[in-house]
Amino acid sequence: MRKSGQRLLSILAAVGTAAAMAVQGAVLASPASAATGTGCGSVAQPTVAGATIQSMSTADKGADLLLNVPAHCEVTLYLTHPGDGDKVQVAVWLPTNGWNGRFQGTGGGGYAASLQLGDLSLGPNVSTLPSAVQEGYAAAATDAGIGFNPLSPTAWALKADGTVNTGLLTNFAHRSIHDMTVAAKQIVASFYGRQASYSYWNGCSTGGRQGMMEAQRYPGDYDGIMASAPAINWDTFVPAELWPQVVMNDLKTYPSACKFKVFTDAAIAACNGGDTVAGGLISQPETCGFDPKSLIGKVIFCDLTFQTITAKDAEVVRRIWEGPTSADGQQVWYGLPKGAAIDMVAGTTSDLLGRRSGSPNSLIADWVRYFLLKQPSADIAAVTPTQLVSLIGQSQAEYKEVIGTGDPDLTAFKNRGGKILGWHGLADQLIFPQGTVDYYKRVQNTMGGAASTNDFYRLFLAPGVGHCGIGGNGPVPTNVLASLVNWVENGQAPATLTSSTTSLTEGTITRNICLYPEVARYNGQGDRKLASSYHCAA
């Protein structure tokens, strides 16, 4: 696997950890007294509309000291959808002591329906389930019938005749998460003798998209949804993020990660507004006017050699920040935010002779190969800027309805009392935050304005934070799920999210992440590393 693929896999693997970390912290009082299960043998088989249960097994699991997982009943369910020939696995973990009365659905990352940590062959039992059970939740995960590879849909995207496997795509897009939730709630009720008092969704990236899809398509499934760095607008942003590779191929210029970092660091230095903590944080990347052309001619020490930044290097970066544009100059989608690492979407590699070429992110490239071109061996390097714009349009036309996850009408979810807590890093190198902001604004326009939307859906933007908290310099939101629980059960809507990070040179750094559209402003005095030295302002 190429270095870029290894880095992507490590980030996607860490997404589950990031989502799990959001659970940690102060656990709110349980809505009911601690419950004790009566043994796995008492679990009744659930029913799921539109699906056939193939088998169900149970296993009593003792406490695992290595993983810090308490004793629990583990239920494994297999189901299929008639006519699709799929086999979907659902795993439900039920604490045998100290159940907090709540149910938690756990999300995935990349092309994995419920993200796997460690050995991908182990199945959903190594997802965020351990962390959820540690906190006293009954929890569930699913493989959606597509396996456990977050990097690529190679194993399931196309049928033998070369057509798209629409059944499995539907599973991945939304059906399997709903099925999992319906089945798991019945299993919880059977095991404990009563239904969960509250149900929560916990997901980042693909998991964030799944949570938003639940609110849009299945508003009755969850009382609270934590949707971090959500991969909404999937039909548009995934093919659009091939743009950096197309630009490099168009200009025949392939800067290394080291050279790209020079541009990123320069943008941060120019646009941090004096916020130099943790190497500098950009609170509003969309207003950053740093021009990459200002670095032309600069000599840098990079990749063990002295190099000069060229006009083509600067033009590559400018177009990556600008985002895909049509032949008449119209912006088709957003570009990479200034301050985010460039090389995750603009990966390059070098051969033994030192000749550089593009190294496409497999998650992005395979969407184009399998779902748009329907040709697994297609040469992505041959795609021109004009062709990519056409492919983005094709993706929207063919897949918006099944996986776009961009419906701003959340009336049913709001009316049933549901709450959504979303956050997105402003240095996200995989899912650009402008797409989330665009969706949030469309929700406001649909749901009666900012105040009406904030009553049930709140968005927080974290300066300098990378994808799901991985990468970047900024303090990462903490205890997000606990804040959501407090909002749902006690009516206390969060005005800020606590965040923290640790710097080798500066120690612990804390910051309060403000409710969009406000940003944190320095008070003019006090330690810049402490949240107490800032306030939220327009």
Last residue of a domain, one of 401, 421, 449: 401
Which one of the listed residues 428, 483, 499, 533 is annotated catalytic?
A: 428
User: What pLDDT, on the 0 to 100 scale, is given for residue 504?
Assistant: 87
Tell whether 205 is covered by a domain. Answer: no
The verdict on whether 467 is a catalytic residue reads yes
The verdict on whether 366 is a catalytic residue reads no
Task: Determine the structural domain holding residue 55 and report its residue range.
Answer: 31-196
| Total domains in the fold of the chain | 2
Cα separation values, 467 from 196, 202, 340, 470, Å: 31, 16, 9, 5
Residues of the chain with pLDDT under 50: 1, 23-27, 29-38, 117-126
Tell whether 226 is covered by a domain. Answer: no
Same-domain status, 260 and 318: yes
Which one of the listed residues 152, 176, 205, 283 is annotated catalytic?
A: 205
Tell whether 516 is covered by a domain. Answer: no
User: What pLDDT, on the 0 to 100 scale, is given for residue 37?
Assistant: 45
User: What pLDDT, on the 0 to 100 scale, is given for residue 239?
Assistant: 98
Tell whether 179 is covered by a domain. Answer: yes
User: What pLDDT, on the 0 to 100 scale, is given for residue 229?
Assistant: 98
Same-domain status, 187 and 313: no
Per-residue pLDDT tens digits for 286-316: 999 999 999 999 999 999 999 999 999 999 9
Of 69, 106, 110, nearest to 91 by C-alpha is 106
HSE-CB for 386 with a 13 A CA cutoff:
2
Same-domain status, 161 and 257: no
Q: What is the largest CA-CA distance in the chain?
A: 73
Tell whether 288 is covered by a domain. Answer: yes
H/E element, 5: helix 3-21
Tell whether 247 is covered by a domain. Answer: yes
Which one of the listed residues 72, 178, 424, 467 is annotated catalytic?
A: 467
Same-domain status, 329 and 191: no
Same-domain status, 377 and 262: yes
Cα separation values, 460 from 231, 283, 294, 463, Å: 16, 12, 32, 10
Same-domain status, 180 and 274: no
- Intra-chain end-to-end CA distance of the chain, in Å: 45
Same-domain status, 369 and 267: yes
Which backbone phi and psi does 94 adopt, to 5 degrees? -125, 110
Last residue of a domain, one of 162, 181, 196: 196
- Tokens encoding 424: 């997105």
Same-domain status, 163 and 288: no
The verdict on whether 81 is a catalytic residue reads no
In the numeric block, the tokens 């795509």 are attached to: 169
Same-domain status, 40 and 177: yes
Neighbours of 382 (CB within 10 A): 9
Of 93, 115, 103, nearest to 204 by C-alpha is 115
Tell whether 520 is covered by a domain. Answer: no
Last residue of a domain, one of 135, 168, 196: 196
Contacting residues for 40 by C-beta, under 8 A, at least 6 apart: 58, 59, 60, 73, 74, 75, 191
Secondary structure letter of residue 33 according to DSSP: -
Same-domain status, 123 and 188: yes
Tell whether 258 is covered by a domain. Answer: yes
User: What pLDDT, on the 0 to 100 scale, is given for residue 304?
Assistant: 92
What's the rounded Cα separation, in Å, for the pair 103 and 85?
Answer: 29
Same-domain status, 183 and 293: no
Same-domain status, 137 and 56: yes
What's the rounded Cα separation, in Å, for the pair 11 and 267?
Answer: 23
